[in-house]
Amino acid sequence: MADGEKESPDAPTSYDEAMEALSSLITKRSRGNNSNKGNQFDLLFHYLKILELEDALDDLKIVHVAGTKGKGSTCTFTESILRNCGFRTGLFTSPHLIDVRERFRLDGVDISQEKFLAYFWWCFNRLKTTCFTLILYHIHAAEFGRYGQERTTEDVPMPPLFRFLTLLAFKIFSAEQVDVAILEVGLGGRFDATNVVQKPVVCGIASLGYDHMEILGDTLGKIAGEKAGILKRGIPAFTVQQPEEAMCVLEDKASNLNVDLQVVPPLDVNLLNGQKLGLEGEHQYVNAGLAIALSFTWLKRTGHLELANQDHTDSLPEQFIKGLTAASFQGRAQIVPDQYVDSEKDGDLVFYLDGAHSPESMEICAKWFSGAVKGEHQSDKAKPQVSSSTHQLKKNIMQVFDPSSAERVQLEILLFNCMTVRDPELLLPQLMKTCASQDVYFKKALFAPNMSVYHKVGTHALPSAVPEADLSWQLTLQRVWDNTMQKDKGREAKQVNHVAEEMKDDTGKGGGSHESSSVVFPSLPLAIKWLRDTVRQNQSVRLQVLVTGSLHLVGDVLKLIRK
């Protein structure tokens, strides 16, 4: 542990045992249950007291960021900027894709397993020992309505998973003596565990849209009200251009709290001096602009005037440019060639990973993917030109499965899953429509259940196959996709749907057929195997696979395709 850390935690056991203990904190409550709203939020202050983190939390110099989409990228840019300015940084984001330690980054690197175990067991054991014997303090009925005016003794439960991880982040960042802690809100804002922070240095609200409506509300105004819950009286805050309904609510909340809420424009690409942002996608310039404003304000309010006083409308400090161009964030507009395919040519199977799961983010994802694969089309000189003729298009597709063909054909494939609280009628048509507007058409859509399970944390929870998996949700997704394909009367979409019949399914399970443009696989490993087998058996094919709909799906695919 860091210097000055006096407590000696119990000797760490194994990492898997820590994951089992962490899994015990996962609640069975449905995300859509209204009782989630602010459920015993005030208990967070008791947890802070048990862990002796009250003063430490006040001492942390925090950047706090909420939003529907882009908040994680904004936090990533902000951390990279301030780290390149010479500060020791702590970054807390969610969810993790492969390992829970991804949520806690120190100086841009996931916390080590040794440090994680030490801090984890210190927090877990202290909470477990204390929670069930804690005598609650005098709490006024208006603040904690289910208790009366009199002092009482009541069992206090262990904090649920996300609240525990947030408390653990506070412990890590305070013990590691970071100069700045950047906190991404998990869900909403007002009742999010990160909102126990009372004295942030600066707050940010990224782009707002429709997501988590079962908890946050069914209008942009209601959603904006929940996100604005992170604003603190007199603390400067920044946002990006928002829909009018959302902006009105943000401005009203800010005015009531005497908050100077400023709207920042997207980053001007010319300020990067010819370099590219570290995160892909045009939308990242919006997030980068917000990160720049948050970073400058943090520098100014913490007394680092040598960097804060520069007018960043005409130029950026070199440290800012380096931070913006070096930023990295797994599972968001990430391109990963498959390393397990033994083929004569590189890039025969490439995965495009993006955890988009709302209609707005799905549109952004589709634009990014379309631009990326069209760039590949243009750079692949061996690719045959696709004629507008249905006959020629069919001939090109059939070449894919002719081993004697010397030409390589690039095909776009969708690998999709989403949580049951999402509406696929909003997600899949948006994806298809946006890609089609960029002249990109999926030749096949694959649907498979995630490997991750809600009640377990850690790789021990990942079976290699799920032969008895319930595929009812994936079959629903398939029906939505097929119905959308049939409703699309566009000429090109009809052609693609017609010639896609030539692609082989070779699954024999889950509703796939030789005539379908989609297929359901009983497990994700089988879907990956099908993609690899297709490339191995057809030397003229290149598969560009978009993986989207769920960050959990993206994480599971990364586990399978990385050596």
Residue ranges for the known binding site are 94, 184, 212, 332, 354
What ranges make up the beta strands (E) of 93-193? Answer: 104-106, 109-110, 180-184
Residue 331 to residue 338: CA distance in whole angstroms = 15
d(CA 497, CA 474): 20
> Is the Cα dihedral 348, 277, 79, 202 positive or negative?
negative
293-310: b (≥16 Cβ within 10 Å) or e: bbbbbbbbebebeebbee
95: cis peptide before it, omega within 30°?
A: yes
Residue 63 burial (C-beta neighbours within 10 Å; 0-12, 13-18, 19+): buried
- CA 294 to chain CA centroid, Å, is 20
Whether the Cβ atoms of residue 511 and residue 475 lie closer than 8 Å to each other: yes
Burial tier of 269 (Cβ tally within 10 Å: 0-12, 13-18, 19+): middle
Query: Residue positions in the annotated binding site for ATP?
Result: 332, 354
Amino acid letter, 153: T
Cβ-Cβ contacts under 8 Å for 481 (sequence gap 6 or more): 416, 428, 432, 445, 447, 517, 518
DSSP 384-443: PPPPSSHHHHHHHHHHTT-TT--S-EEEEEEEE---TTS-HHHHHHHHHHHHHHTT--EE
Q: What is the 3-state secondary structure (H, E, C) of 24-75?
A: CCCCCCCCCCHHHCCCCCCHHHHHHHHCCCHHHHHHCCEEEEECCECHHHHH
Angle at 201 between CA 196 and CA 202, to 5 degrees: 90
Distances (CA, A) of 432 to 11, 57, 306, 321, 503: 53, 46, 49, 35, 19
CA distances, 287 to each of 58, 70, 294, 551 (Å): 27, 6, 11, 19
CB 53 within 8 A of CB 170: yes
Residue with tokens 């942030």: 200
Could you tell me the maximum CA-CA distance found in the chain, to the nearest angstrom? Answer: 84
HSE-CB at 557 with a 13 A cutoff on CA atoms is: 33
Q: How far apart are the C-alpha atoms of 461 and 486, rounded to whole Å? A: 38
Q: Which residues fall in the annotated binding site for Mg(2+)?
A: 94, 184, 212
> How far is it, in rounded angstroms, from Cα 417 to Cα 536?
25
**Residues 315/319/320/325 CA torsion (nearest 10 deg):** 110
Residue 6: partners with Cβ closer than 8 Å, 6 or more residues away? none
List CB contacts of 306: < 8 A, sequence separation 6 or more: none
Please tell me the total number of residues recorded for the chain in this structure.
563
In angstroms, the first-to-last Cα distance of the chain is 31
